[in-house]
Every structure is written in C-alpha cells, then in structure tokens.
Amino acid sequence: MSGSAPQERAGGAVSHPVDAADTGAARLRRELTAAVLGCALGGALALSAASQRWLQVTITRQPPLPPATQVLTGSQVAALVPACGLLLLASAVAMIAVRGLGRTAVGLLVALAGVVLGWSGLRALTGGLGATAADVSGVVGLGGARPTSSLVATWPALTLVAGLLAVLAGSLVVLRGRHWPGMGRRYERTGPSPAAAGAQRARPARPETAEDRHQAAWKALDRGEDPTAGPIV
C-alpha cells in the first residue's frame, strides 16, 4: 500500500498525512508570530522606558546658593537603551523578510540587544548609575557642589523586562527560525503535496450515471456531433 494512504491508529482513529503537514505548518507560523511580537514588544518597551525619568539629581551648592534639581532620562544615563529599542523594532520586520542564515543572524542580534537592555536595567536598579558632577554640569556651574541622586525604579525594571523578551525571542529565532516561512511564501504557486496527489490517485472513480450521459449528449450536440451515432469501425 502507498505511504500516502491514511493510516489507522490504535482505537480506530485514522491519521491523514495532509492533516499532519497542515498542523506542522500552523505550528511554525505560530512560532514566527510569537518571535515577531516578542521582539516588537521588547523594542516598544525599551523606547518608552528610555524617554522617561530615571534619575532625579539634587545638587547641594555652596551658600548662599540654594539647592538645584535636575531630571535625567533613560536615554541620558543609558544611551544604549533607545538604540537597542530601535534595533528590535527593525529586527521584527527583518524576521519576516529574510530566511535561512539571514534570519539566524537577526536572531543573534536580537538576543544581543536583549542582553544589553537587561544589563542596563539591572545596572540602574543596583545603583550603578551614580550621578556625578559631569552629568549635571549645566546646572552646577560652580566648584564644590555635591550631587545626590534618587532612582525611579519603574523604568529600569521595564527595561529589564524588555531585555528578557528580546533574549527569549532571539533564542527562538536562532533555534527554530530556519524552518519558518518567509514573506513571499504565500505568493508562491505550488502544486499539491505528494501525499495529497497520492490520496487523489488512490480515490476510486465514480460510476457514470444517467445524468452524466445526458450532459455528455448535450455537449456533443453543442460541438455539432450526433450523440446517437456509434463509433466508426
């Protein structure tokens, strides 16, 4: 019996090769969708966090000057955060456009950007930013000033989440991306799969009915032929 014919499983269930192929293709599309959404979401979170306030710096100056306050955003204290956010958004589109080794390279870039985002967020949360007089030189303007900083932890934590999403999406692309469809796959005209062709060949022909003979007679008249004439010997 041909290998494309349906196979009977335990309990009487019938397995069709065509259904199995459709299930596998749907799973690959779901993986691609998850990677693209994870990458795009990570990029959006990184860009949003970079535009928010990360540090509030208070400068204590020599009397009689009063204390001064300056706000530093994420892009000022961690310049790589917005750059990685833009990279992730561009990579989300590139995942769909490229295939094979190109898609694997995109996955590596996404994972690397995720590591940078995670490091930036973790560094801020652990007190690694430490505002200095150079960070607030526009406000100080005098020697002897002492800056103290207060961290707004929400946005570094959001950056850490964005990095985690990017690492997961990039790892999925590296491990599974070579099997995913590309942007032009839906526009390619392909014939039936070998399993589907074998199933069609194995299907028995339907016996001719009176209605079929009636339709054949009318078609013969349309062609100018006599349907009652027998074959010439």
- The predicted pLDDT at position 66 comes to 76
- The predicted pLDDT at position 1 comes to 46
d(CA 135, CA 77): 8
- For the chain, how many residues are written? 233
Helix, coil or strand: residue 60 = strand
The dihedral built from the CA positions of residue 48, 50, 56 and 61, taken in this order, carries a sign that is negative
**Phi-psi map region of 100: left, alpha, beta (phi>0 left; psi -120 to 50 alpha):** left
Place of tokens 């970079």: 50
**Which residues are CB-contacts of 191 (< 8 A; sequence separation ≥ 6)?**
197
138-190 pLDDT, tens digit each = 555 555 666 677 788 899 999 999 999 999 999 999 998 888 877 654 444 44
For Cα atoms 175, 181, 187, give the angle at the middle one, nearest 5 degrees: 170
- The predicted pLDDT at position 233 comes to 44
- The predicted pLDDT at position 185 comes to 46
d(CA 181, CA 100): 10
d(CA 64, CA 70): 19
198-207 pLDDT, tens digit each = 555 556 666 7
Q: Is the peptide bond before 64 cis (omega within 30 degrees of 0)?
A: yes
Provide DSSP, 124-175.
HHTT-----TTTTHHHH-STT-EEEEEE-THHHHHHHHHHHHHHHHHHHHHH
d(CA 219, CA 197): 29
Contact 67, 61 (CB under 8 A): yes
- The predicted pLDDT at position 165 comes to 95
Of 58, 42, 33, which is closest to residue 181 (Cα–Cα)? 33
Q: Which long-range contacts (CB under 8 A, 24 or more apart) does 228-233 make?
A: none
Q: Facing residues of 151 across strands? A: 55
Token couple for 208: 């001719």
- Would you write out the chain's pLDDT as a tens digit for each of its 233 residues? 444 445 555 555 544 555 556 677 788 888 889 999 999 999 999 999 999 998 887 777 677 777 777 888 888 888 899 999 999 999 999 988 888 888 999 999 999 999 999 999 999 888 877 644 455 555 555 556 666 777 888 999 999 999 999 999 999 999 988 888 776 544 444 445 555 555 555 566 667 777 777 777 777 767 777 667 655 54
